[in-house]
Structure 1
Amino acid sequence: MSQGKNYKRHHLNPLLINQTTMKKLYADRGETGDVSFIVESEVIRAHRCVLATHSPKYKAQFYGVQPDQGEIRVDGVSADAFREFLQFFYLDEVFLTQKNIEDVLNLACQSLVNTFVNVCEEFLKYSSVLLIDNFCWSYRLAMLYDLKSLQNKCRHFFNYKTYALKVLANAGFENCDRELLPELLQLYAEKCKEIDYFNACIAWAKTACKLENKDPENGVNLRAVLGDAITNIRFGNMTIEEFAEIHSKYDGLFSTDESIEIMYMIGKVNGFKSKRFNQLSRKEFEFTVKKVDTIFECDRVSSKSEDRKGLRREEKIWFYCIKLIKLHGLVIATTNIGDIKILVACSIEHFEYCPKFTTKSKTDTNETIITFDQPIFCTNSCFIHLERDSWWNNKDGYYVKDTIESHGTHFIFNRVDPDGSVSFVKRILYSCRE
């Protein structure tokens, strides 16, 4: 009897490894694990195939030309941190702690799995950066492991309001690593004067001298611990009075040639180029800022729409963008704005902010341009709330698009109110990193 053509049919495999199975493997790894790690004299077991499936490092270590067969010693990290790290291989949700995150990040980088590193970076961005006491520690990790997103968030936080002054005066700055000091002295802050950076630099040097049992008031000792880090101070931005006070207070901090160079920089001698000190201006190197009139526009709604009776006294806009932007202001679809209040809340800062702003009405286009006195950094979720005492005298409304793409920046809008499709915001002014 002929069997005819081969019959094929796909069937779901009920035994296929799923998250429940992985959780059980994780829970039972002490019993079923086939590799033992010795961490701080503790034995922590895991499964070779599970680790090798995700990590190129472990694949080479367990199944390479000369695979490890016995127990594996892990130095430089805590046992608790290693257990937290193992979660990445088994669980869909990992539990990380501030205490162990540095060790976990180190292990994640060693594993050569970018996804693990990204999770650690996100944890640091939203648990550590926004605390003054943790700033230098967070920035050190960002620089050490080349975490670009965390670096940017640290820089933005440093430049926000007067946080730079608080960071520079914090014990975390005075006790930071010598390798990190030059990086910190290059940070930009609009609210900081160059003398503020210098004073923080000296406070760090005095702490270092005390640790080495040297006189912290001796200029020669201070320069010895500072080394070339002090060349990151932009002395050309100081006044001659500020430098004269420094020079008289810290004898031996500068050589004669260095003092002459600094005076030349302060005096803005034409064509002078210092051989020792950084003459570049401090600037926000996170951005290549475009024109302020970079905008995304809302869609116009016909004034003949039956549901356009008039605009409310307040408008709420809530959007999500995948790139960091600088919010410069808004364009309102009326010249009669009267007394207006604006509230901006951005997830990058986790703060509500009532910006100071100026307005300029253009009767030819029947709109008012609102420009914030200082731009606001925002990414992820941003909430803008506008309110005035009376109803808006405006005949035309605007739809806010669900999704807008402009200059590679995606803006995904959420309706705050049931009738939130009607808006008196005509455009939003911003600049972004190219």
Structure 2
Amino acid sequence: MSRAAGQPITEETAYTVSAYWCCVRVISETVGQMPWRIHERTSSGQRVAEYHPADRLVNRIPNREQDAATWRELMLRWVLTWGNAYSEIVRDSSYRPIELWPIEPWRVAPLRADNALWYEVQQADGDPVTLPAADVLHFRGLGDDLVGWSVLRYAARSLGLSMAQEESMAAQQENGAKLSGILRPPGAGSFTREKTDAIAAAWQQQNAGSKNHGRVYLINQGIEFTPLSMPNTDAQLLESRQFSVIDICRFMRVPPHKVFDLTRATFSNITHQSLEFQTDTIGPWIVKLEQQVNRKLISPAAAGRFFSKINANAILRMDPDTRANWYTRLRDLGVFSPNQIAALEDMDTVGADGDVRLVPVNMQTLERAAAPPAPPPHVVPTATDDEDGERADEAADNG
């Protein structure tokens, strides 16, 4: 555990910072909702390999207690918080993967021995068990050659500052926001200790707490209230809190508008920021997940034939007009068939006729367009109908 700004920073206390909590959620839940399938390369392109054992694990049921989306969110939450996420690969007698069981990252220690990578896992009884690297899915963030580093290790100051600001604002609301003035006895007199305590208690009861904010207090017994001029600390605190949100977003590489900070967002740039979220924030995690599954769940002999693929297009739900234009362009290029478009829109297909791909008839290859035109074919002249009639008349006259 580390401390910053007087606050204890742990993996659990960090979740009390709303910006950090939201960053972890937006990344893990976004990846969790994306379709993740195993594909097979074919002579005509590629297709989903539903029969591959790994497809069921990453797409539907990783183990008998979790669904795929929950398992993915857990892996991302762990790697975003602890820097590492692990799942044990359970295999059958034919060495095919049949289950993926999450292992808490604080129980795992990667190590090298005999020129091989192993994972030492602490069990509930305290005895360690060692697993070979081939039987452990290890997702990790930025780190060294063995483990990823916890974001909290470097973001502790920003998180501690944000927690301290929350505590300060809560204390202000509880204690009456700020010292706004001084109560003085009438003239040059003074209060006894008992009367001072009684006046202070009455003032605290009438003014402390957020529910008494702005309330009018009646001063009696000749007491004078002298207001104090104070700097605008409330505005400074809000500005500092906003800076903390931006700073945490930098550590997590999340656009601020994804954590509901729209200070710098405009209608013209928010679309581009959303695309940047997919390419700069989600993209690297997708690659890491795909490559780890390719290494551990697909045998080396089948690596050239099968591969895992996370479909990031599932989160790009454009407006209807833009989506229709996009489908039309890809259909006219022969990329999509009508049935494929219907499937992407979760609509019923139209049968075998909808599998036909269309291309414009007025298109040709670049090579044919650059080639010189072919010479016209040689045509042997033939007699016209008029010439045949004249010959017939001439033959009749000569007859």
Same-fold call, TM > 0.5? no
Larger Rg: 2
For this structure pair, what is the TM-score category when the shorter chain's length is used for normalisation? under 0.3
| TM-score between both structures, scaled by the size of structure 1 | 0.20
| TM-score between both structures, scaled by the size of structure 2 | 0.21
* Higher RCO structure (Cα 8 Å, ≥6 apart): 2
Q: Whose strand fraction is larger, Structure 1's or Structure 2's?
A: 1
Q: Whose helix fraction is larger, Structure 1's or Structure 2's?
A: 2
